[in-house]
Amino acid sequence: MRISILFFLICGLAIPGVGVADGSGGNTLASTMEVYVFPKAGQQSEQQSRDEAACYEWATSNTGADPFDLHKQSIAEAEATEKAKATAAQSGRGAGARGALRGAAAGAIVGEIVDDDASDGAEIGAAVGLISARRRARAASAQATEQAEQQGKATQKATEEKLGNFKKAFSVCLEAKDYLVKY
């Protein structure tokens, strides 16, 4: 992907589907990453594109992060988090029925032992088992959902830190080439 981005930049072409326009009406690599670059030494836009491409490569190799790959990764992580949360919400399904069956079996045994009436014990056991199992299932589902959300936030934060490090490296390189850089 980097080669095609560099090709578009060096040729002065717009990058398809990416970018924020700079003042000249074209897209720049920096503007696609919301990094604002001003040529302090009066560099022409073609030179700026070449410098940005060189700094992009340098920052990528020095940080190990490619902002375009990080963007795709961020989207995949958000989708995975939502899927994990949905799975966690569905994990308690059927718990009430299973709890009622277990409770009925235990209640029948206790009822038979206590007053020789398994049906009353089974009925009470089923109700207690149903309520207890649903309560545990809801708590487990809420905990699993919260855990999925926390994990998603942690991975998003790590991705944002990688992007921040890339932008710092990219900016340092451009500043060394006599550009004013802000992000």
The residue ranking higher by pLDDT, 120 or 172, is 172
Q: What is the per-residue burial (b if ≥16 Cβ within 10 Å, else e) of 55-88?
A: bbbbbbeebebbbbebeebbeebeeebeebbeeb
pLDDT in the model for residue 160: 93
The residue ranking higher by pLDDT, 176 or 21, is 176
Please report, for the chain, the start and end positions of each structural domain, with discontinuous segments joined by +. Answer: 2-68+164-182, 85-162
Span 113-167, pLDDT tens digits? 777 778 777 787 778 877 887 888 888 888 888 888 899 899 999 999 999 999 9
pLDDT at 23 over 60: no
